[in-house]
Amino acid sequence: MYRLTASLLIICLLVLSGCTGRKSASSKAYIKEHTAQSDPKENNAYTPPSAVDKTQFTTYTRDLQMKMQAFAIDYKKVQIYLDQKLILVKNIDSTKAEVASGIIRFINSSVIDEITINAYTPGIIDAIDPEGIWVKFENGNRLRFVPQMGPDAEDVFVIAGNNWEEGTCDVSYANKTYRASCFKCPSIASVHPVVKLSDIDKRDKRTKVLPGIKIN
């Protein structure tokens, strides 16, 4: 009787052990490896430029451009910046996810090519023509800025865009069309190129000391 009871107990333990093992294997089959997702809020988090004294900068205007030309200041040797954070966004075909300058993000199942130019990122004026200026923040690609138009226009440059709507517009960049917006200002028209006053004040200085004339 004792042997029979012991045998039944061992059989029960083996059965329970087998059930537990199958349950563990089943639960593991449904565990999916965690995949990091892109957080739009984190990507668009605005980090103020450190140690930037905005009083050292002045807006790049048509009048300032003419003064630079009058004093023979080479515009390609003057660092240029934007006073606001600029964001360029483009929806792209997921089967042809080619990004020239930005990063790929997924928002609501859409593939987004996003380019961010933070405030006071150093750039250069690549070219000047009668209608505006071309500004580069990376090799190979550039943005166009033109004088502000309208009855209340100021003597400032704004980004050249089309299809203006709710403070955003379409711009051409890297041979593609992006939707441009300002991160903290209500309109992309509030983004202006600025330069350092110290760069403008740099002029070639030639000094000649006159020896004087003596009477023999």
Provide the residue ranges of all domains of the chain, joining segments of one domain with +: 55-200
- Residue 31, pLDDT above cutoff 50: no
**Residue 155 and residue 145: Cα distance in Å, rounded?**
13
Render pLDDT for 125-135 as a digit per residue (tens, 0 to 9).
Answer: 999 998 899 99
Rounded-to-integer distance, Cα 100 and Cα 141, Å: 9
* pTM as predicted: 0.65
The contacts of residue 68 (CB under 8 Å, 6+ apart) are 75, 78, 200
Ranked by mean pLDDT, the top range of 189-193, 197-201, 204-208 is: 189-193
> Nearest 5°: phi and psi at 26?
-65, -45
For 69, residues 6+ apart whose C-beta sits below 8 A from its C-beta are: none
- State percent of the chain over pLDDT 70: 60
Q: How many whole angstroms separate alpha carbon 59 and alpha carbon 163?
A: 25
β-sheet bridge partners, residue 195 = 58, 80
